[in-house]
Structure 1
Amino acid sequence: MTALPGWMRPPRAEGWFAEDLDHLPEAPRHTELIDGALVFMTSPQRSSHGRLVTSLTSALIEQAPRGIEVEREMTVRLDARNRPEPDLLATTAPYDPDRTWYAPQDVVLVVEVVSPESAHRDRTVKLRKYAEAGIPHYWRIEAEGTSPALHAYELDGPTAAYAPAGILRGATRLRRPFPIDLDLDALLP
């Protein structure tokens, strides 16, 4: 067994904190912090995942109203011990070329495209954590054969939990977090 590289050791006895991610240049590209533990996306990403994220990014950018920025693969600093990286997010924060994370109060939508490696985190852990942080909308995109289905959630403020807002397939129009027309089947060529 080989020794762990030095950068993989937590910098303090309490483990990792959100700000530590900005000081780990050796870490793999898609490194998240969940409950103080580093989570690495080590499996090769499927081509369909990348294409779906790219197509959805383009659709959201084209239809986002003024004052909404769309980003992909940027972390959200939920609290001191959690900094997940959604596939996409929509934010009210102005563009900053040096930004490495977003605050949850600036995020209006997070989108996770489920892959085998991320399924449990996307369906349960992130669903709960994004809601507890007060992010108003969460979309989880699941493969259904060769077509994607969008599972939309909306924050129920009094319970700080997401309520299902629908499972969408094919051509659809969403009103929240902003009006958007999507043809889910067209997101994958």
Structure 2
Amino acid sequence: MSVRPEASDHHWPIPPAGGWTADDLDRIPRLPPHTELIDGSLVFASPQTVFHTRALSFFERHLDAAAPPHLEVLREFSIDIDPQNRPEPDVVIVLGDAIAGPGQTRLPAEAVKLALEVVSPESRSRDRETKPVKYARAGIRHYWRVENDEGRAVVYVFELEPVSRTYAPTGIFRDRLKTSVPYPLDLDLTEITARRVAPEG
């Protein structure tokens, strides 16, 4: 005797011929939060780990605290690469004058000074291969990739080579990240995985 599966109330959007476009992300109803568009296909976010959440909070907090007045730091914000690609980096540093108002849902790639991705098991190939190619071709000067190496944060730092429009590695940082670009930063990466200890008494 066969058992019919229960009907689901959720209906996945059916892509149009040629795939979705960047404009569609603002029009498709009931999309999960943080849905990205990669090569005309919708990419849904998976549940995040404690490491991923701590890393995002760490970089958002410290990059924002050190940012000069003309730059702004945003977390999990959508950027336009081209009509078929609208990714959502985990953290971006952007030109402040590109932000038009509180209802804005996306920014042009040319406003982005740094894109940062924290690698998850399901996003590994996108963050290591697919997205860096697209960010570089869009002219985003700085790309940082953060990985979990047995509980320790490792940051791979890249800078755009302007002629080839590809990223050149400029450093691998484990306990401390000190750099002068996109602005001076001195970050204690051990804070990302350090456990908080309740005060005595």
- What are the residue-to-residue correspondences of 1:36-185 with 2, within 5 Å? 36-41=40-45, 43-94=46-97, 95=99, 96-185=101-190
- Return the letter of the residue paired with 1:28: P
- Return the letter of the residue paired with 1:118: S
Q: Aligned partners of 1:56 and 1:37: how far apart in 2?
A: 28
Q: Secondary structure at 1:164's aligned position in 2? A: strand
Q: Secondary structure at 1:85's aligned position in 2? A: coil
**5+ long unaligned stretches in structure 2:** 195-201
Extract structure 1 runs of 4+ deviating beyond 2 A: 1-7, 93-96
Q: Secondary structure at 1:162's aligned position in 2? A: strand
Shift of 1:48: 1.6
Corresponding residue for residue 17 of structure 2 = 13
Corresponding residue for residue 23 of structure 1 = 27
Question: Structure 1 pair 131/4, CA: closer, same or farther in 2 (3 Å)?
Answer: farther
Q: Secondary structure at 2:96's aligned position in 1? A: coil
Q: Aligned partners of 2:73 and 2:30: how far apart in 1?
A: 27
**Alignment size in residue pairs:** 187
Question: Structure 1 pair 24/7, CA: closer, same or farther in 2 (3 Å)?
Answer: farther
Q: Secondary structure at 2:136's aligned position in 1? A: helix
Q: Aligned partners of 2:86 and 2:14: how far apart in 1?
A: 18
**5+ long unaligned stretches in structure 1:** none
Q: Is the 8 A contact 1:107 1:135 kept in 2?
A: yes
Shift of 1:5: 5.2
TM-score with structure 1 setting the length: 0.93
% identity of equivalent residues: 43
Q: Aligned partners of 2:28 and 2:190: how far apart in 1?
A: 38
Q: Aligned partners of 2:9 and 2:138: how far apart in 1?
A: 33
- Return the letter of the residue paired with 2:56: V
Question: Structure 1 pair 79/93, CA: closer, same or farther in 2 (3 Å)?
Answer: farther
CA RMSD of aligned residues (A): 1.6
